Amino acid sequence: MLFIRTYRVFQYYAAETAKLDRPGPLLQDPAGHPVGAIERISVEAGRLTVRGRAATVRVILRQGAAESSALPGPRDPDGQAPFVLDLPYAPGPAQLVVEHADGTFVQPFSGFSDRQIRLARARRFIPFCVRLIRLAPVIWRWKRTGDLGARERVKEALSLVPPSPAGALDPAVLDPAGAPPPSGSDAFIIVMPVYNALELLREALERVARHSPPGWHLIAVEDQSSDPELRPWLQGWAQARKDRVTLILNETNLGFVGAANRGLAAARARDPGAPVVLLNSDALVPAGWAARLLAPLEDPTVASVTPFSNDAEIFTVPVISRRVDLRPGEGYDLAQEAARINAAAARVDLPTGVGFCMALSPRYLARIPQFDTAFGRGYGEEVDWCRKALLAGGRHVAAADLFVEHRGGASFGSAAKKALIQRNADVISNRYPGFDAEVRSFVAADPLVTARLALGLSLAAARARDPVPVWLAHAMGGGAESDLQTRIAARTGAGESAVVLRVGRGWRWTLELHGPEGMTAGISDGLETVEALVSRLPRRRIIYSCGVGDADPAGLPRVLLSLAGRGPRAVGPEPQPVEVLLHDYFPISPSYTLLGADGVWRGVPLPENTAGRDPAHHWRGPDGTRTGLAAWQAEWGALLAAAARIEVFSEASRDILCMAYPSCRAAITTRPHALPVVPPRLRPGARADGVPIIGVLGNIGPHKGADVLVQLSQSLARSGAARLVVIGRLAPEYTLAAPARVHGRYRIEDLPGLVARYGITAWLVPSVWPETFSFTTHEALATGLPVLAFDLGAQGDAVRAAPNGTALPCPGPDGMDVAALLAVLSADMS
């Protein structure tokens, strides 16, 4: 049994990680004229993907009855545009239908054979075994303690779920008491290349003069700006501060690199032992900036220091490399927040600095005194300098306690910057082959994530028009996640931010900040770190969405109440609003599906009834502490009592909740979900032998009816009355009797092709728990095919209300009534 289960896990792993890839043919119209090319044909994660370029109106990928189409993107100077199309993998040839100005033609091409796929997957066996060995301690914890978080970590490591894009949170970074006061050198030189953007230059120089300590000296290099007002103004400004300012006037425009090099040479000539700050003329420094920026240079191994900013590649807040335009006053507020950061705790090695505001050590300037002029007019030259310093033994660090606003490309032109990036990035990649991978590793781990989140949350709070939602959510996908993503998209689409506190991964907590620019996330086992970050949101709504997978769900109500400013661990001085979304039944029982220990639904468990005495409704915590159903409902009842709004998604789930907590009825709002993607109406599949094909949508585990499908497949294998196909995955501990099939992962848009491919004539929803909504049931009903589901929960409500739905008797301890299902199926087909 263990061998079979491990083999099935390997099959899933191999299907996700095996990849085949090859170039494709040229695209030629019937007259032989080239109109583009299929650049790559690949199979990965169970999908056939075709990439190319074409001078077309529309491109369609077709294989059998399945097809996918796309309108090409922006065109290049030759009139060609890129396209990417994919379909669920199937063996055999495929074709590209090309619609262009002169007509339509079909380009056939060969796909990949089953043998090629099998060999590619077989080659994943050794990497799979290596990963299993490394995961052995985590698997042991999962199996020994039932830790669902450990299970999710195993699934992530085996590529069965997407990886968590989160870095580890460091509580020391949020402890300003542990940070020594900044004590950077008083004597330092600022080198500022100047080109146009006079208004920004005025503000930048005013900030330098007002906020710099007594030992500053500025070398401004005016690079023949096209604005006729700029040079005279700058000359007057420098003359008024001639003891503090050296002005260099270029006779011709040299570009950023040339101007910076003149400034660096002048700085070294003035004082070769002084640190140098390379500062853009659109960078706006705050009070106390110099001491914070220069303090790390007291370490002789540090070659460069860069602060956080709103536009500074890996130093950008709140999302790496996603520029955000600041509103008036926000730069000042972020600088104040950054000053609370313990920069010494965040002093980690970085792959490079960023030259918009970068302190350079005189030790390393002596070795590398100039930027390389191969980078032309700018971009990438500071990366090249940093990599040379790294090879010389230097380190690059962040001043995490400093935020410097950057107006981003104003002085050298945003459009020009984009053009320079590609050319100079190629130079960097060729010179330093490991650099790109090092940056990707940095982004994935993000060792600055604690400070980045602290600043990002403060910005989110400042911009919020209403209390920022903080959802507690699981990490297991499904309908609850679909609903959550819809809510997040509504917030970010309106320019607002949202926070998600996830449970159920290898770490206890994953804190995600979502905004219009993207998402930043950090992981931690410590609640104190989470509380310290959430406290950056003085106005927030604490919302329970789904806690399934948490290591200690008995404690979740108290955690949520503390985040809402209530109870002995209250975060913040004021109580915050609480809401509950009923995606699961944790508020009623530790068995979030309400099933008993034998996997059977026997009604709402209450402390005084028979169902409530089932051991499934009693909790044993990670430390061995036992919580009975009465104590469990007392904890969760406190959360429900604090909730101003309880949102349920079906009449059935409302009734179930009210049976456990009658006093909650007034706070309940019933709001069924809208499907994020509505399947099209479909015609039943056709098979030559006329045998009905029962389709099952979704990933099927125990509570979703895996035992029902095993029983059904065995019965159908004996009788031949119908066949079974699962469009989704089946938990690896279950095996269906042949000829039942499991397709694997799918997308809603794949359904027309899959229904035709497998000949599906009706859907079965085998879920054995009273679902709170059941997206799968509603998706199946939307296809127009007959849908059968058990008469319980939201799925029972849905099929009873739909003309193409049929409610089946609920399965008992002995399983389902297969004869009743076949009788209904026969009636639907007649």
Q: pLDDT digits over 423-436, tens only?
A: 888 889 999 999 99
The average confidence (pLDDT) of the chain is 91
Class of domain 693-829: alpha beta
pLDDT at 610 over 60: yes
66-103 per-position pLDDT tens digit: 888 877 677 777 778 888 999 998 888 888 888 877 77
State the pLDDT at residue 408. 63
Beta strands in 74-215 (DSSP E): 81-88, 94-100, 103-109, 167-168, 188-194
Residue 290: CB partners within 8 Å, gap ≥ 6?
184, 188, 211, 212, 213, 216, 277
Q: How far is CA 340 from the centre of its chain?
A: 28
Class of domain 464-670: alpha beta
Interval 533-558 mean pLDDT: 96
Query: Exposed, middle or buried: residue 93 (CB in 10 Å: 0-12, 13-18, 19+)?
Result: exposed
pLDDT at 409 over 70: no
pLDDT confidence of 233, banded at 50, 70, 90? very high
Q: Of the candidates 453, 479, 396, which has an alpha carbon nearest to the alpha carbon of residue 166?
A: 453
State the pLDDT at residue 341. 96
pLDDT at 421 over 90: no
Strand partners, 468: 540
CA distances from 675 to 399, 796, 797 (A): 46, 18, 16
pLDDT confidence of 9, banded at 50, 70, 90? confident
Amino acid at 128: F
Strand partners, 514: 498, 519
612 vs 620: CA distance, rounded Å = 15
CA distances from 234 to 216, 226, 246, 279, 719 (A): 18, 14, 11, 16, 92
Which has more pLDDT, 151 or 11? 11
Question: Which of these ranges, 589-603, 627-641, 775-789, 803-817, has the smallest mean pLDDT?
Answer: 803-817
pLDDT at 192 over 70: yes
Instruction: Please state the domain extents for the chain.
Output: 2-13+123-157, 19-121, 186-445, 464-670, 693-829
Q: What's the CATH code, domain 19-121?
A: 2.60.40.10
pLDDT at 377 over 90: no
Interval 517-534 mean pLDDT: 95
Fold agreement between 186-445 and 693-829: no
Q: What percent of the chain has pLDDT over 70?
A: 96
Interval 654-675 mean pLDDT: 97
70 vs 72: CA distance, rounded Å = 6
The angle formed by the CA atoms of residues 41, 46 and 52, to the nearest 5 degrees, is 20
SS3 at position 61: strand
Q: Helix 414-431 vs helix 435-445: angle between axes, to the nearest 10 degrees?
A: 110
State the pLDDT at residue 292. 95
pLDDT confidence of 245, banded at 50, 70, 90? very high
84 vs 72: CA distance, rounded Å = 8
pLDDT at 778 over 90: yes
pLDDT at 182 over 70: no
Max CA distance (Å), the chain? 98
* Strand-strand pairing, 58-63 and 94-100: antiparallel
Q: What's the CATH code, domain 186-445?
A: 3.90.550.10
Which has more pLDDT, 37 or 565? 565
State the pLDDT at residue 633. 97
pLDDT at 738 over 70: yes
State the pLDDT at residue 413. 46
pLDDT at 181 over 70: no
SS3 at position 491: helix
- Enumerate long-range contacts of 421-426, CB under 8 Å, 24 or more apart: 421/379, 421/380, 423/376, 424/375, 424/376, 424/379, 424/380, 424/381, 425/380
338 vs 405: CA distance, rounded Å = 12
Q: Of the candidates 700, 735, 713, which has an alpha carbon nearest to the alpha carbon of residue 818?
A: 713
State the pLDDT at residue 412. 46
96 vs 60: CA distance, rounded Å = 6
pLDDT at 415 over 90: no
Q: Helix 125-134 vs helix 2-17: angle between axes, to the nearest 10 degrees?
A: 120
Residue that is written with structure tokens 């007392």 in the block: 634
pLDDT confidence of 138, banded at 50, 70, 90? confident
Residue 611: CB partners within 8 Å, gap ≥ 6?
596, 602, 603, 604, 605, 617
pLDDT confidence of 42, banded at 50, 70, 90? very high
